[in-house]
Copies of this chain bind each other. A is one copy, B any other.
Amino acid sequence: MTKNVLQYIEENRSLLLDELMEFLAIPSVSTDSSYKEDVKHAARFVEEYLNEIGFSNVTQMDTSGHPLVYGEYVEAGPDKPTVLFYGHYDVQPVDPLDEWDSDPFEAVVKDERLYARGASDDKGQVFMHLAVLKAYMKAEGSLPINVKVCIEGEEEIGSENLYDILQAKKELFQADLVVISDSGMVAKNQPTILYGLKGFTGIEINVKGPDQDLHSGLYGGAVRNPLMALAHILSSMKNEDEVVLVDGFYDGVEDLTEEERALIAAVKGENYEETTGVKETVSEKGYDAKEHTMARPTFEINGLYGGYQGEGSKTIIPATATAKITCRLVPGQDPDHIQQLLKEHVDKVAPSGVEVEVHLEKLSSKAYKVAPDHPYIQLAATCYEKAFEKEAVFVRMGGSIPVVEWLDEIYQIPIILLGFGTPEDRLHSPNESFPLDSFDKGMETITYYWHELGNM
């Protein structure tokens, strides 16, 4: 059965690639309201595609922001599993535009990669699924399983309306498993099963000193410098062994088992020094870089500013200083509780002479982890390995995908993160791209997976 589907894909590869390029050409930048019509255009593209391949109940669900497109194929019947496929058709802004080697909205193939905004995140990966659905319908006239497709347009702006829709449409979206292709492999052509994601929380620290910037000669020695106060606060929160010093931060975090250490050790992931340009990796004492990024919580200052930033010097004591901090959390850590612990720590160590305020980041999420030996996971690994002709690795990732936490909370069904991106894709950056290898073998993987799920 998969033979005909794969043959259709092979014979129509250039047509499918053209269709993807048409999808990529729509500048559906959700963060910028001046692209509102383009975002709508991208939603229409998905809607029409689903209609054309014969999906039913195809609708655009309006939100206060951008619409979510839904469509379903439920003719495989109640005996067959139902997959809820989630993806997003919106993309990140493109600036700085002058760092792109080609037009971000005119996809080009170069060195076996497809270059365009959204090529990897997430239009390219969403389209692979649409293409496989089309191939099944064209080659076989049916799908071996039931598939509910749910493609939103607000992922890059925090999926603002998705939680409410997932709650409201629980019956309509109900499925046996969720499949998401919005992530990556640890290396090109290395099948990667993502069985855990980190949670997320954050705070912003605002330190207020004098009413206005002061002359450092006239007032140095009389007032507390907000930047130095902030440096003291921050350095009290994590030590040079990369251990977070906030009381209770690690409470409830499960120890890394020997089994999991072995799984992580088996991952031949990216060479951090090569991809990031650092001379040496640095991670939490007792854990190597892979273990820390995958399975241990992190604490990062994302931004810090205060005072003079121009050339040369300006001899002031700044009026304010600000630090933006986010943490990636692991199972056992509650994001709201961690946020409170961070706030309490800052309040406790805040020095005299300045006012220190802690703002709690609104978007926070719990970590997600599914047992790597779950049958749906194992089946995905088998299909992946067959298409890529290489043994799969099982990884947890440091990133956070809010939709995964929400789906877990509301639907309580396994979520299969079947990503085909590569570390070189430059997501959110100029010259985003996606390897054609991933495009071809990804469609093959999905074809096998639907088939195998139908045989379960």
Contact = CB atoms under 8 A, between A and B. Distances in A.
Interface of A: 198, 200, 202, 204, 209-212, 214-225, 227-228, 230-232, 234-236, 238, 240, 242, 272, 276-284, 287, 289-294, 296, 298, 300-309, 313-318, 321-324, 326, 328, 351-355, 361, 363, 397-400, 427-429
A177 to B, nearest CB: 24
Contacts of A321: 304
Given A235-B231, A304-B304, A276 B219 contact: yes
Contacts of A198: 217
Contact of A221 (B218, B283, B326): B283
Per assembly, the copies of the chain total: 2
Given A219-B398, A313-B324, A326-B216, A225 B300 contact: yes
Nearest to A276: B210
Contacts of A240: 232, 351
A278 B217 CA distance: 17
A272 B302 contact: no
A284 to B, nearest CB: 7
A85 B154 CA distance: 68
Given A217-B400, A308-B302, A313-B361, A279 B235 contact: no
Contacts of A287: 221
Contacts of A294: 221
A340 to B, nearest CB: 18
A278 B221 contact: no
A326 B216 CA distance: 8
A304 B303 contact: no
Nearest to A349: B240
A353 B228 CA distance: 23
28 contacts: A198-B217, A200-B315, A202-B313, A210-B276, A211-B276, A215-B428, A216-B328, A216-B398, A217-B398, A217-B400, A218-B399, A219-B272, A219-B276, A220-B398, A221-B292, A221-B328, A222-B282, A223-B272, A227-B323, A228-B235, A230-B231, A231-B235, A232-B240, A234-B235, A278-B354, A282-B353, A301-B307, A302-B316
Contacts of A218: 293, 397-399
Nearest to A291: B221
Nearest to A321: B304
Given A216-B300, A304-B305, A321-B304, A293 B222 contact: yes
Given A240-B232, A303-B318, A220 B298 contact: yes
A172 to B, nearest CB: 31
Given A202-B313, A300-B216, A278 B231 contact: no
Contact of A231 (B301, B308, B398): B301
In the complex, which of the residues A217, A221, A309, A353 has the most CB atoms of chain B within 10 Å of its own CB atom?
A221
Contacts of A293: 218-222
A296 B221 contact: yes
Contacts of A214: 276
Given A232-B235, A278-B354, 17 more contacts: A204-B313, A210-B276, A211-B277, A216-B300, A216-B302, A219-B398, A223-B276, A223-B282, A224-B278, A227-B304, A228-B238, A301-B306, A302-B308, A302-B317, A303-B316, A313-B361, A315-B326
A96 to B, nearest CB: 12
A351 B324 CA distance: 21
A240 B229 CA distance: 8
A300 B292 CA distance: 35
B307 A303 contact: yes
A298 B317 CA distance: 11
In the complex, which of the residues A279, A292, A298 has the most CB atoms of chain B within 10 Å of its own CB atom?
A298
A324 B219 CA distance: 17
Contact of A308 (B212, B303, B306, B314): B303
Contacts of A322: 309
Contact of A300 (B277, B284, B317, B326): B317
